[in-house]
Amino acid sequence: MNDNIQTIDPSGGLGYGTALQQRNKVLRNTYWLLAISMLPTVLGAWIGVATGITAALTGGIGLVVFLAGAFGFMYAIEKTKNSAAGVPVLLAFTFFMGLMLSRLIGAVLGFKNGPDLVMTAFGGTAGVFFVMASLASVIKRDLSGMGKWLFVGAIALMIGGIINVFVGSSAGMMAISVAAIVIFSAYMLYDLKQIMDGGETNYISATLALYLDIFNVFQSLLALLGIAGGERD
């Protein structure tokens, strides 16, 4: 891929065509793998809700399990992204994330309008992705400078989320959820633009980045809807 980029001909020669085809291939493979990765996520969430296996993961215990599992899997994905093990490891990670999400989904489904809230969060997340993908395809400006600011924002969110696990503030959760939706929607645009511009050439890494963006937007939107719009019997 790097060799192809270095042979880009400003006049529109063969080198440019080869690089463009490679970028389109990475984007196409990323979209396919992203779609497939939703299946283990749904399966993990369903098993978690049906069995209540994550119900005991509250407070600090749940936080430790989530952070250890998530960062462990992400490390393994980066180590295997250029091998045949990359895709299975990524799919195992999405199953784990589904399990971790099941506790929130189960809580929201406990509301009278729980199924509607879940579908609203799903539709809202799909809408955000569609808008960001459309923007990424038409924006000509280089957005690579956004990366460091978004990373700082994500770290601040993580710290705020950890603090709120122990504080247990609904207002704090709402503020964190709103901020997360904004930051990870912007991250979605950034990551899509990186793929389209050839800044990301590995479709497994690209899928991981977009999956995390989508997961965080959905989770935050669902939490916000549950707090603000949950109806009890």
Confidence at 9, pLDDT banded by 50, 70, 90: very low
Q: In the structure encoding, which two tokens stand for residue 53, read together?
A: 């296996």
Highest mean pLDDT (candidates 57-71, 143-157, 213-227): 213-227
Range of the domain at 121: 2-229
pLDDT of residue 3: 43
- Backbone φ and ψ for 84, nearest 5 degrees, come out as -65, -20
Q: What is the DSSP string of the chain?
A: -HHHHHT--TT--HHHHHHHHHHHHHHHHHHHHHHHHHHHHHHHHHHHHHH-TTTT--HHHHHHHHHHHHHHHHHHHHHHTTSTTHHHHHHHHHHHHHHHHHHHHHHHHTSTTHHHHHHHHHHHHHHHHHHHHHHHHH--S--TTHHHHHHHHHHHHHHHHHHHHHH--HHHHHHHHHHHHHHHHHHHHHHHHHHHTTS---HHHHHHHHHHHHHHHHHHHHHHHHHHH----
Structural domain count, the chain: 1
Is 70 exceeded by the pLDDT of residue 81? yes
pLDDT of residue 22: 84
With tokens 């923007």, the residue in question is: 135
117 vs 229: which has the higher pLDDT: 117
Q: Is the pTM of this model over 0.85?
A: yes
